[in-house]
Structure 1
Amino acid sequence: MKYFILLSLLLARIVFAGDVSVQLEVNNNNITTQDQIELQVQIHGTQSASEPRIMGSENFLVEEAGSSSQIQMINGSTTITKTFQFLFTPKREGEFTIGPAIVDVEGTEYKSEIIVIKVSKNQEQGNGHAPQDKNVFVEAVVDKSSPYLNEQFIYSFRFFTQVGLANANLDLPEFNGFWKEQLGEQRKYTKNINGVTWQVLELSFLLTALRPGKITIEEARLFGEIAVEGAGRRYGHSLIDQFFGSRYAERKRVQLITKALNIDVRALPGEKPDDFSGLVGNFTLESQTDKDTLKMGESTTMTVRLRGSGALENATLAAQENDEFKFYDDKPTLEKNVGTAGVISTKIFKRAIVPKKEGQLTFPPVTLTVFNPSAGAYQTIQSQSFLLTVLPGDKDDINHTMLQPLSSKKNVELLGQDLMPIRYSLDSLNNVPLGQASKLALIFIILGLPCLYATLHVVTARQVLFKGNISLARKTKAAKEFLSSHKTLIDSPKFIEDSLNMLKDYLGNKLNLDGRAITQFDIERILLPYAISETTIRETKEILDMVEKSQYGGLILSSDVRNKISDKLKILFEKYEKEMRS
């Protein structure tokens, strides 16, 4: 009987495997940008299929909605069905193909048919004003629509609500053509519009135009579920939930879309001055010294503050050395303050000044040529000059005792005898017997000391080299740290965060940059000078985009997805090692 049951199970398995099929279904294939598709992948004939891979899903925000299995036995016939459910929210309008859905059953791939989805634009999206029939809306605004090349301006995304939003996921534009930097954390406040009070969540970015011409900032999209107040349970899983959590009875999935913004970037006018610093903004220069009276051989420190509403990351000071002074620059620091007037940056330079002669000396002002957008013209700004009084150095500070003749030579005085007899010539060692162990020790010392010296010399030279060259030290450890982190990545409870940091730290060490500050929008600008292939740059941007979106919600990572991300990171690492070596 046991053998009969086992044989029956084996035969059933073979029959089921031979009848495997995959079916793809949606509840609607003609939707607007604010609708959502319920998609099912049904696998008939087996329960051992892998999680489906759905082709063409890159144009949608995809959320897993669960899975189920069903076994039916009717009149001796067994039917097995496994169903995976997903929610697809369109990112943009257009006609898109979803599918095929692909599953793996014991090494064999099975595919479904494809489905065409038409997505039309919602007529109410992105009007920038409070709608009369809705409890939530979004807008995107900039403080300047016609900035100059290299001029900074602020982009703000604002979410207005009266009821809250659950399971939120924000899809920001890529800001192609701009340098982007987030301005602090999101800000929450209230605003009255036409007598109605709205709660507002604002996220702002500092943008710098990198090329002249007309550039479009694409729509920003906020996906989530509108919450209707009632006696339901409390939800608070997402970033926005933490601000607007309340008790909900029902939810309705929505997609809130801002308008695209057209930015007209103006080129700098006229011919640039020869001493143009490249800085664009409204700036001031201030300088001061820690002392204005000093002696020959002493130095004073001049502090220069360059302050204004513009990008100062690449700002430098011109040399000032002349016949009266020499100077030494320290590493500058940069501070940024966000206020109601925008972003004010301050770069602080420290310059040690050493006079070359005595007397009343005038140190010249620091000058800098910038472009002032408010005036629409090039301007030369300068700090104040200052007068230095340089006194003669004190000769009494010299230690004359070092110059005095030595006192009369003293006779050598015998203080005591050594315990062992003192040998006064080499001949006295000829008759000293050496045992076998002593001979081996002597040979080891004679042969081993040069090897030990050579080893210590190499180690010391390596330490000195790394200590003096931080960049080389970082490059050397980049691969080792990446591989060490990658070994434990797949089991990490912070998989997304660790994936992001691992790749950014590797690139930062390899290129001697602040890796954690790198975003997908910086990759091309940073890597092109290193002759990295376009394919590798594109793949890096794609994986950063995928991991960053996962980090901010909206995606549930299965084990297959985790393995896929881990494998992609390893392949990228190998490409960088090969391309940077060549």
Structure 2
Amino acid sequence: MKKVFLVYLVILVFPLSLLAEVQFRLSKDTVLKGEPLYAIFEINGNPDVVVPRNIFSKDSVTAEYIGIEQSFSSINFQVKRKKIVKFRVVTSKHGTLSLPEIQINVDGKTYSSGNVSFTVKNKRYKVQKPTSIFDRIFNGRDPFRNYNYIEPAEDDIRIQFALNKEKVYVGETVVGYYKILYTNMSKPYFERNQMKNMEFPFFTSELLDGVSISLSETETVNNRIYDLIPYNKEIYALTPLKEGTFVLGNTHFDVEGNPDTYFTARVMEAKGIKVKVKGLPNPQPVDFSGEVGKYELKVNLEANTIGLGQNLELRLKVFGEGAGLLIRDPLSSLCKNGACADFDITYIRETRDRKFTKLQNGSHGFYSNTEFFYSLRPRKEGNLLPGNVKIVFFNPSSEKYETASAEIPAIYVSKSSFDSKESGIYRPKKEPFHWFPYFLGFSLVLGFGFSIFFFRVRIVKHGINILALFNLKILPLEPESLMELDRVIGMKKGALLKNSLLEKGFQKQKVYELLQLKRNCNNQSLLELYQKSDNLQKEYLLKFATDFFKEG
């Protein structure tokens, strides 16, 4: 009976000893502003640990996943194993703050940090310099370069959203961008935090390619002179949808000092801009399509003389200052008035083009070209007058509705020049069909195919590889793996790039190999390096990018 009881007790207690014990703590309860703070899960044993998300955020407090460490300890000749899951806690505020609820999965079970508070004192933390070359290596910095450590004051760095125009009307497209202002330091490294969405309420937004902003080198704010640089990686075309006052561009940026004036990586808030959107005045003209800008209209007619039943090409070009997104077919208003009764008009296509450039008044904005193509077929003979075409737009400079118009030249229609006078139907002269070149080409292709089919066994037997015979190896012009890796890297460099990649779970060895590769190519993009390389280097870059994501 005692043996049965002991067996039952072992069965009951043994599974409980296998359960992982999970504890959560903060590295400190009280820190100074800018002082490192970590959230830590300690798990006994060697269970399977999964971190479902890399970043947890709440009320300007962000916990960023760093990685998992393993530790071993020996007590009374018994080896104990422990896993440690670390998160870096970042905030720009001071006072008593609440940590966002962090969750991890241990052996399929979810564990949470719960409600945890900590205090940030309104006093700057002084960064301690690494004392040895090994400290610099393990911090991801160049061990042979001198770092001048600083701790920026609260207003030494400002990140603001800006527009190219102060006054905006409904339907008027403007350009939005971020500008970084800094003082008492060299140019820092900065990158928009992808975990925080940008806010453009009641505006449509479009990311512009190949556009850059030029600004003055300095700007004065509150009687302080700041160095000024634009964030040219993300520039947006924004179009307001309704009247009102809105705040645009609130988001977060990752910022880190460069070696000359180094400070640790941190998350900073980018301040949005308050913009007042004015409604368009009433009443609106009948033919108004909603376009805001300043435009001109030009007519291009293929010829002034044509035979009855023949087709004539007509082009209408609308160009000027504005995005040109809402410009509509100018000929439609003309045909409503019956001026098109003498023609059969076929709409063919339209082309739209715009560029961001310096405008006539010295400011920067959009200049657009919109061209409409038509085919005209006259219905009768004689001297025909199609009439004037026009477009109506709202000019924000004059704050009035304006009209741009142009006259379609008179068209003289002569008698039909068709071959068949009886039916009036045009019958083009048929060209003789030269069938011999097509027959010869088809025969050669067919013969080559049959040769490969009948001699395929002999080809395989003798190991003939046609591609290897001619050494043909086609490499892609713009490989997606390198383009994706460039997008992940962005504008980050050095320790900021290293920390970002490690936090996303990429393998440490590959991350260090990537850092060395970027240093060797002067931080140019991998796609640019690929396009300048020979085939051997291209194959290495392709394999590296593929392995990087495979092991991440």
> Normalising by the residue count of structure 2, what TM-score does the alignment of the two structures yield?
0.59
Q: Name the SS for the 1:57 alignment partner.
A: strand
Give the match for residue 152 of structure 1: 173
Summarize deviations over 1:551-575 as a string: whole Å, max 9, x none: xx6784449xxxxxxxxxxxxxxxx
Q: Name the SS for the 1:383 alignment partner.
A: strand
Counterpart CA distance in 2 for 1:263 and 1:189 is: 22
Cα distance change of structure 1 residues 555 and 176 upon mapping to structure 2, 3 Å threshold: farther
Deviation at residue 89 of structure 1 after TM alignment? 3.0
Cα distance change of structure 1 residues 359 and 261 upon mapping to structure 2, 3 Å threshold: same
Counterpart CA distance in 1 for 2:348 and 2:123 is: 57
Whether 2:201 is the aligned partner of 1:176: answer yes
Whether 2:350 is the aligned partner of 1:350: answer no
Cα distance change of structure 1 residues 288 and 209 upon mapping to structure 2, 3 Å threshold: same
Summarize deviations over 1:46-89 as a string: whole Å, max 9, x none: 22141345799133555432321112121255543211222233
Counterpart CA distance in 2 for 1:259 and 1:100 is: 26
Summarize deviations over 1:75-129 as a string: whole Å, max 9, x none: 2555432112222334889986435444433334444443135789999xxxxxx
Whether 2:394 is the aligned partner of 1:371: answer yes
Give the match for residue 471 of structure 1: none
Counterpart CA distance in 1 for 2:404 and 2:23 is: 71
Cα distance change of structure 1 residues 338 and 119 upon mapping to structure 2, 3 Å threshold: farther
Deviation at residue 25 of structure 1 after TM alignment? 1.4
Structure number having the greater helix percentage: 1
Structure 2 gap ranges (5+): 1-10, 125-151, 220-224, 360-364, 426-478, 488-496, 507-552
CA contact (8 A) 1:285 1:382 kept: yes
After TM superposition, the structure 1 stretch with the greater mean CA deviation from structure 2, 92-101 or 278-287, is: 92-101
Whether 2:234 is the aligned partner of 1:222: answer no
CA contact (8 A) 1:150 1:280 kept: yes
Counterpart CA distance in 2 for 1:219 and 1:293 is: 60
Deviation at residue 214 of structure 1 after TM alignment? 0.8
Pick one of 341, 347, 350 that aligns with 1:329. 347
CA contact (8 A) 1:147 1:264 kept: yes
Which one-letter code corresponds to 2:308 in the other structure?
A: M
Which one-letter code corresponds to 1:140 in the other structure?
A: F
Give the match for residue 382 of structure 1: 405
Q: Name the SS for the 1:252 alignment partner.
A: coil
Cα distance change of structure 1 residues 167 and 372 upon mapping to structure 2, 3 Å threshold: closer
Summarize deviations over 1:26-56 as a string: whole Å, max 9, x none: 4456776xx4753232223222141345799
Deviation at residue 13 of structure 1 after TM alignment? 8.2
Which one-letter code corresponds to 1:327 in the other structure?
A: I
Pick one of 239, 249, 256 that aligns with 1:208. 239
Between the aligned residues of both structures, percent identity stands at: 17
Pick one of 275, 281, 297 that aligns with 1:269. 281
Deviation at residue 379 of structure 1 after TM alignment? 2.1
Counterpart CA distance in 2 for 1:13 and 1:164 is: 60
How many residue pairs align between the two structures? 380
RMSD: 4.3
Whether 2:71 is the aligned partner of 1:48: answer no
Summarize deviations over 1:438-479 as a string: whole Å, max 9, x none: xxxxxxxxxxxxxxxxxxxxxxxxxxxxxxxxxxxxxxxxxx
Counterpart CA distance in 2 for 1:122 and 1:149 is: 45
Give the match for residue 294 of structure 1: 306
CA contact (8 A) 1:17 1:45 kept: no
Q: Name the SS for the 1:277 alignment partner.
A: strand
Matches within 5 A, 1:457-496: none
Cα distance change of structure 1 residues 217 and 76 upon mapping to structure 2, 3 Å threshold: same
Which one-letter code corresponds to 1:177 in the other structure?
A: F
CA contact (8 A) 1:22 1:111 kept: no
Counterpart CA distance in 2 for 1:122 and 1:385 is: 74
Summarize deviations over 1:505-561 as a string: whole Å, max 9, x none: xxxxxxxxxxxxxxxxxxxxxxxxxxxxxxxxxxxxxxxxxxxxx9xx6784449xx
Which one-letter code corresponds to 2:88 in the other structure?
A: L
Deviation at residue 359 of structure 1 after TM alignment? 1.2
Structure 1 gap ranges (5+): 1-9, 124-130, 230-247, 403-491, 501-549, 560-582
Cα distance change of structure 1 residues 30 and 265 upon mapping to structure 2, 3 Å threshold: farther
Deviation at residue 268 of structure 1 after TM alignment? 1.1
Counterpart CA distance in 2 for 1:389 and 1:95 is: 85
Give the match for residue 290 of structure 2: 278
Counterpart CA distance in 2 for 1:294 and 1:273 is: 36
Cα distance change of structure 1 residues 113 and 278 upon mapping to structure 2, 3 Å threshold: closer
CA contact (8 A) 1:152 1:206 kept: yes
CA contact (8 A) 1:40 1:83 kept: no
Cα distance change of structure 1 residues 212 and 189 upon mapping to structure 2, 3 Å threshold: closer
CA contact (8 A) 2:54 2:65 kept: no
Give the match for residue 107 of structure 1: 108
Cα distance change of structure 1 residues 395 and 151 upon mapping to structure 2, 3 Å threshold: closer
> Normalising by the residue count of structure 1, what TM-score does the alignment of the two structures yield?
0.56
Summarize deviations over 1:373-420 as a string: whole Å, max 9, x none: 2221222221233111111112556599x9xxxxxxxxxxxxxxxxxx
CA contact (8 A) 2:168 2:278 kept: yes
Q: Name the SS for the 2:217 alignment partner.
A: strand
Deviation at residue 254 of structure 1 after TM alignment? 3.3
